[in-house]
Structures are given as C-alpha cells and as structure tokens.
Amino acid sequence: MKQRLERRDFLGMLSAAGFGGLVASTKDAWGLEAIRNPLATYPDRGWEGVYRDLWKYDSVFTFTCAPNDTHNCILNAYVRNGVVVRIGPSMKYGEATDLLGNKVTHRWDPRVCQKGLALTRRFYGDRRVMGCVIRKGFKEWHDAGFPRGSDGLPPAKYYNRGRDEWLRITHDEGAKIAAAVLKNIAETYSGEEGKRRLREQHYDEVCVEATEGAGVRTMKFRGGMPLLGITRVFGMYRLANSMALLDARVRGVGPDKALGAKGFDNYSWHTDLPPGHPMVSGQQTVEFDLHAVEHCKTLVVWGMNWITTKMPDAHWLTEARLKGVKVVVIACEYSATSSKGDDAIIVRPGTTPALALGLANVILREKLYDAQYVNQWTDLPVLVRMDTLKYLRAQDVFGGGLAALENTVVLGKNEKEPPPLQHSKTIVSEQMRMEWGDYVWWDRATNAPKLLSRDMVGKNSNVQNPLLDDSVVVTLADGKKVRCRPAFDLINEYCAHFDPKTTEEITWAPAGAVELLARHLAKEPGTTLFAVGMGPNQFFNSDNKDRDTMLLAALTGNIGKISGNIGSYAGNYRVAMFNGAPQWINENPFDIELDPNKNARPRQYWKPESAHYYNHEDHPLRVGNKLLTGKSHIPAPTKSMWFANANSILGNVKWHFNTVVNVLPRIEMVAVNEWWWSASCEWADIVFGVDAWFELKHADMTANTMSAHS
C-alpha cells in the first residue's frame, strides 16, 4: 500500500462526498483494483532470507558429547553471532587413525542421536548452572565456626536440604568454604576422639575402625564414569589422593603414615558389572563391539534394548539385518528392539538364567554341542573329585611339582608387577599359582588320566577324546582310589532339570521356541553373537544369568570369535583402556613432578569403596551375627561427598527416599560439580558450576569400546 489515508481526511471526504465519493476516492488509496500479476507486485520478500539463511553459521567447532550413555560422539557445533545455533555429526570418524596409522571406515558416520542434536536446548537451558551457589544454612554453619554436639554432629537447624535458600558466591569463596569444611571434618573424626564421636553416632564398630583413625577416610569422592573425561572426571580421585596432605597435617604424620580419602565406584555401583563374567573368565567383562554384529549369522539380543539405549550404534543392527543376520530378541516386554527381531521371545522378568539352562538342556540332550570347542577351549572335560567336590589336582595323581607355564608369568613373593605397558602375558602371584595347581582330564583313547595346565588351551590343548559324560575311578599317587566326574557330566545332570516344559513354566518362553532356538544356535557353531543387557544384572540371580549364558555360548562355540561371542552392555566405559591413568590419579601429592617431560611417581593414598554401602546407610552386610562383608570392603562412615558429572550417586540414587531421609542427615557436606541443575544439586550444600561439554577448554581423552580419541 503506497498511500495512507488519514482518519481526519477520511471523515472530511465522507461528509463532503457521501458514500459514493468515498468508494471512488479509496479505490486507489487502498489498492482495491484486482492485482493482475501477483509476482510483479508482491511486497518485499526480504523476510524469506530468514529461512534461506537458517543454516548459515559464522564458525564451527568440534566437541565431545559426554553424557552417562558414554557413547562420546564427536559432534560439530555451528556458531552464529556467538551462539551455538545447531549441532550435528562431525562426519570425521572415517578419517580417524590410530597411532599405527590404521583407519576406520566412514560407516561409523554419522555418529549422533536425537539428544545430541538437541543439546543446545540444554547448553542454554533454564537449568544451566551458572557460577557457584551455596545453601544458606550450610554457609551459616561455616560462618558460625562449625558448631557441633558432643557426638560430633552439627545442629540439624543448619541442614534444611532441599528446602533451604541458595546464595550466590564466587568459585573462590566456594573453594575456601569447602576446604575449611573438609579440614574441620578431618579434625573432628581423626584419632580416638574421632572414633568416639562416630560410635556415638551409632556407626557399626567395623566401619568406625575402617577409618584407621584418619578423619579423611570419612570423605568420599567420585568422578562420574571414567571414559567421559579421563582427566576431567577422574580428577576427583586425584583430589581424594591429595587428602593425604590434609591427613598428614591434621594427625601430624609423615608421608609414610598418611592416608587419603575414599573414592566411590562407578561400574559396579551402576550394576553395570555382570557378576558372572569375572567368575567365569577372570575378566571384568567379556564383550565384543556392537559393529561386529554384521559378521555373525544370528544375533541374540538378551535383556537389552539396543535401539533405545545404543542410539549411535543402532545402524549396525539395521545393516546386519540387511545382510541377512537373523535377530532373536529375548525381553520381558515387546521393546523397540523386539520390533526388529525375526523372533521375539517375551519372558517373565528375572527368569532368563533358567532360559539359558533350558537351551543348554536341549543341546546337551540331543548332543548338539560343539565337541571340538568344548574339548579345546573350556574346562568342561576337567575331572572333579566326588569325595571333596573339588577339581582333581594333577599333583595328587602324578606327583611332582607344578607344571612349567610358558604363557603365564608367576611373580615371586617380593617381585613387583611390571608397568601395564610391559604386560605381554598373564601375570599371577605365586600364591595364586599354588592355589590353581594343575588339572586332570580322562583320555578315552588311552583310558588314562592326563595333566592339563592353564597353558593348554586352544591350539595348545592336548584334549582330544576326553571322557565327558560318565564317571571314572582314578588312582592317586598315594594309591588311594577316587571316583571323579568331568565338569561336563555334572553340568549335564544339573541342566537335565530344565527340560523345555519346565523352562516354559519358569520363564513363560514357549517350550517349542526353546527347542527351535537351541537347535538353531547349535546348527552353525561360532556364528552367534549374544548381546546381553545390564538390566538383568540387577536381579539377585544375576551371576547365574552370566554363568548360564556363558555355558550356552561355550557349548555352541561362541566365545572369543568375531562372529561368535558374548558381551554385556551397559556403558562403554572401562577405565582399563587408559592404563596410564594412575600417573594422573595417583601422583604422589608429597612428591609432585613439575617437569612435563618426566613421569609422575604414583603412590596411592586413597582407597576405593563401593557406593552401595553409603546407599545402605553405611552398613556393612550383616546377617544375624555374621558379618558377610569382607575385610577389604568394609566401608567407613560417610561425612562428606563430592562428585562431578554424576547424578546417579544422589539424584537418581536407588532407594532415593531412604537416602534423602536417613542417609543425608549424617553427611556434613555434599558438594557437586555440575553444569545442569540436577536432583543431586537440589540436595547438595554447595554446587560448583562448571563448563558444559561444548565449553571445555582443556584437551582430554575419552573412548568407546572400539575407538579411543582425544
């Protein structure tokens, strides 16, 4: 509209010319003529640039997305006018090389999920922690000079957590207050007087003694999961180690007697540790990387919701299906992953150990097992004495000493373990070697016992035609006769209880499906991958779940092969990948190395402790009068807790209500390093705002199980 008709003119025209005149005069002014060519007369279209420029950016940078899912995707942040407006995959995985120059495929790209794409909402979100805040009552306790009752506890009026006011302070002020509180806690709970106070607070006597008289032992530090940032997150354990300086000062002891604080765990605390894996294999966890799935013929997804929880790895499953991999999903619900299965077996929660035994039952009964694998790679042929129910020791049969081992280094009593980088063989202590001894199997060809050492596995195995499913009387070196049965025979007897019908009754898996799956798994040994989830770790029978699925995998030759293996999937965050971590965490605080070209001289002053005990009111496990918690695991009372990048220790804690109501009141400081206001912050005393992942300025290391990157 070019001309504007003023209200005053309009009224004038109206009175002078009546309505006809008005219509005639407004025709041009209001553009009432029909528009013949809308494109020629269309108003300014500059605004369309908003859409055209939507994807324009001034600069781009790369950062690592590091939430609890531990996928650690390397993402691109697109910046416009100083603000990250968009996040996307970096598409650079295919260019990554390792130290030897090996490259990975571009098929790792794009590595991202919907949550990563929407991270700007979090980075600039209304719950972003800015600066440092302290709870009002906590500050008042500090300002009042730490008043305490005769039992050592601060007055409850200072601990109105979750309802109190928050005060803004600087990071420097926050650090000073936190340090003063730690010093006061160390002073309060050190020595005999410290123990007396803890006893008055009704801590278990063994927990009081677990402090060893050092108040710093009541301080618990926890980095979040290590792989999220090996220096950033694990710095909390370095801080725990440094508490030895405080202990030395408070108790007046030297570096030789000083003790550090305690460090809470991650992997086992999250119940991500599959308990049966170390029992069967000695390894914390046996696993394969999820991209290997396209190399198998059958994938059994067992209690794991791959599509929902392994987001950037979901494409490997899709691509495997395109390549013809049969997918069987065992879950207690029809999950997102079940919809991708060729077969979905819905089971009763907590019963799948019985399902594994039911599958083993069919394989054993129909003699479908992979005999060569069983003979060479498992201990199933090993003889068990029926008089003691222990393994028959080779030395008891053949006399003489232990067999010489070529693939195992046995450390003498005072011999030190070499640094991790020099480990090329298994290293065991002399004591462990003695405990192991050597084993015996029965050779059907010669009808005689044969020695089996730990070296004799796989291609080094001498087990050719063993007795598997019968008993035999063995004459010992001292002339005594002992009835023995192979481990295989004992397991066979046990599995006989789990016929398909019984298995159906226990697990709800149809008997027909049990038989079909068992026969299918046995048909082509070594071609099935079992991806087992961490959810089943939470059941009390969780170790059985691992031991039974591993038995099934062993019977079908599916352990340790690229196309046939078993794994447990929680987060991909094994600190073992960074075997140099002790250089950082455990650097001796009394002997810091300032030359960046020299190695640190580690000395571990801090002590690990499972957070489970804190979660259970700092109780060790007692049943009646019996103390079941072992000596090395006795927890100390918790008087302070400081954690970083972790909400699972308080906000998402199991048994949250009890923790808040009964556990927190006895803890005198809860400090949190966080960039997103979580429920942990809500229950904290002091919150240190930190850089979000896209703001990190220091180089760090992270990894997933396949690719470590820095």
Among the listed ranges 27-35, 110-118, 205-213, 337-345, the one in contact with ligand SF4 (CB under 6 A) is 110-118
Q: Which stretch binds ligand SF4 (CB under 6 A): 44-52, 70-78, 90-98, 441-449?
A: 70-78
The answer to whether 72 contacts ligand SF4 (rule: CB under 6 A) is: yes
Check binding of 116 to ligand SF4 (CB under 6 A): yes
Nearer to ligand SF4, 115 or 365 (CB): 115
- Provide, rounded to whole angstroms, the least separation between the CB of residue 308 and ligand SF4: 11
Q: For the chain, what's the residue count?
A: 710
650 binds ligand SF4 (CB under 6 A): no
In the complex, minimum distance from the CB of residue 313 to ligand SF4, in angstroms, rounded to a whole number = 9
CB of 71 to ligand SF4, least distance (A): 4
**Between 66 and 320, CB nearer to ligand SF4:** 66
- Count residues binding ligand SF4 (CB under 6 A): 12
- Quick one: which of 397, 383, 388 has its CA closest to 485? 383
Nearer to ligand SF4, 535 or 571 (CB): 571
> Angle at the Cα of 413 (from 408 to 415), degrees rounded to 5?
70
Question: In the bound complex, what is the minimum distance in angstroms from residue 652's beta carbon to ligand SF4?
Answer: 16
Q: Are strands 686-689 and 326-331 parallel, antiparallel or unpaired?
A: unpaired
Q: State in angstroms the smallest separation of the CB of 354 from ligand SF4.
A: 34
Nearer to ligand SF4, 158 or 693 (CB): 693
State the Cα–Cα distance between residues 303 and 326, nearest whole angstrom.
17
| Interacting positions 337-356 with ligand SF4 (CB under 6 A) | none
Quote the tokens at residue 562. Answer: 């690229």
Alpha carbon of residue 559 to chain centroid? 22
CB of 309 to ligand SF4, least distance (A): 9
Q: Which stretch binds ligand SF4 (CB under 6 A): 111-119, 268-276, 342-350, 487-495?
A: 111-119
How, if at all, do strands 439-443 and 426-429 pair? unpaired
Q: What span, in angstroms and rounded, lies between the C-alpha atoms of 557 and 522?
A: 9
* Least distance from ligand SF4 to the Cβ atom of residue 94, Å: 17
Site track 311-330 with ligand SF4 (rule: CB under 6 A), x = hit:
xx------------------
Cβ-based nearer residue to ligand SF4, 215 or 312? 312
| Minimum separation from the CB atom of position 688 to ligand SF4 (A) | 23
CB of 371 to ligand SF4, least distance (A): 42
Taking the complex as a whole, how short is the minimal distance between the CB of residue 369 and ligand SF4, in angstroms?
39
- DSSP characters for 469-517? SS-EEEE-TTS-EEEEEEHHHHHHHHHTT--HHHHHHHH---HHHHHHH
Please identify which residue in 63, 73, 276, 467 interacts with ligand SF4, judged by CB under 6 A: 73
**Where does this chain touch ligand SF4 (CB under 6 A) — which range of 65-73, 95-103, 593-601, 627-635?**
65-73
DSSP string, 529-597: EEEEESGGGGSTTHHHHHHHHHHHHHHTT-SS-SSSEEEEES----GGG-TTHHHHHTB-TTS----TT
H or E stretch including 247?
helix 235-251
Query: CA–CA separation, 649 vs 669, rounded Å?
Result: 14
Cβ proximity to ligand SF4, 633 vs 709, nearer residue = 709
Concatenated DSSP letters of 22-65: HHHHHHHHTT-SPPS-HHHH----GGGHHHHTTT--SEEEEEE-
**Distance of closest approach, residue 77 Cβ to ligand SF4, in angstroms:** 12
Sign for the pseudo-dihedral over CA of 406, 582, 241, 223: negative
Compare residues 67 and 651 and give the one whose CB is closer to ligand SF4. 67
Separation CA 297–CA 564 (nearest Å): 9
The answer to whether residue 113 forms part of the interface with ligand SF4 (CB under 6 A) is yes
Closest C-alpha to 468, from 493, 481, 487, 455: 487
For ligand SF4, the closer of residues 312 and 535 by Cβ is 312
* Residue spans of beta strands (DSSP E) within 576-675: 607-609, 622-623, 626-627, 640-644, 669-674
What is the distance in angstroms between the CA of the first residue and the CA of the last residue of the chain? 60
Report, in Å, the least distance between residue 167 CB and ligand SF4.
33
**Of 68-76, 164-172, 395-403, 694-702, which part binds ligand SF4 (CB under 6 A)?**
68-76
Give the residue, chosen from 63, 69, 290, 363, that forms a contact with ligand SF4 under the rule CB under 6 A: 69
CB of 107 vs ligand SF4, minimal distance in Å: 16
Q: Which residue is nearest to ligand SF4 (CB)?
A: 116
Q: Which phi and psi angles does 530 have, rounded to 5°?
A: -105, 110
Q: How far apart are CA 447 and CA 450, in angstroms?
A: 10
Nearest distance from C-beta of residue 115 to ligand SF4, angstroms: 4
SS (H, E, C) 191-211: HHHHHHHHHHCCCCHHHHHCC
CB 68 to ligand SF4: min, Å: 9
Q: Which of 107-115, 182-190, 335-343, 360-368 is the region at the interface with ligand SF4 (rule: CB under 6 A)?
A: 107-115
Interface with ligand SF4 includes 65 (CB under 6 A)? yes
Considering the rule CB under 6 A, would residue 522 count as an interface residue with ligand SF4? no
Round to whole Å and give the CA distance between 10 and 481. Answer: 123
Helix (H, G, I), strand (E, B) or coil at 361: helix
Q: How many helices (H) and strands (E) does the chain have?
A: 25, 27
Q: What is the DSSP letter of 413?
A: T
Nearer to ligand SF4, 69 or 668 (CB): 69
One-letter identity of residue 678: S
Q: Which of 115, 148, 183, 654 binds ligand SF4 (CB under 6 A)?
A: 115
How near is the Cβ of 410 to ligand SF4 at its closest, in Å? 43
291 binds ligand SF4 (CB under 6 A): no
Q: What is the dihedral of CA 376, 378, 383, 387, to 10 degrees?
A: 180
Q: Pick the piece of the chain touching ligand SF4 (CB under 6 A) from 109-117, 202-210, 515-523, 591-599.
A: 109-117
Give the pairing of strands 343-346 and 439-443.
Answer: unpaired
40-59: which residues touch ligand SF4 (CB under 6 A)? none
The smaller minimum CB distance to ligand SF4, of residues 65 and 345, is found at 65
Q: Which of 77, 84, 112, 392 binds ligand SF4 (CB under 6 A)?
A: 112
645 contributes a contact to ligand SF4 by CB under 6 A: no
What are φ and ψ of residue 60, in 5° steps?
-140, 145
Question: By CB under 6 A, is residue 71 in contact with ligand SF4?
Answer: yes
Tell me the window of 66-74, 160-168, 261-269, 591-599 that interacts with ligand SF4 (CB under 6 A): 66-74
Residue nearer to ligand SF4 on the CB measure, 88 or 602: 88
Nearest in space to 357 (alpha carbons), one of 545, 517, 205 = 545
Shortest Å distance, C-beta 226 to ligand SF4: 15
Residues forming the site for ligand SF4 (CB under 6 A)? 65, 67, 69, 71-73, 112-113, 115-116, 311-312
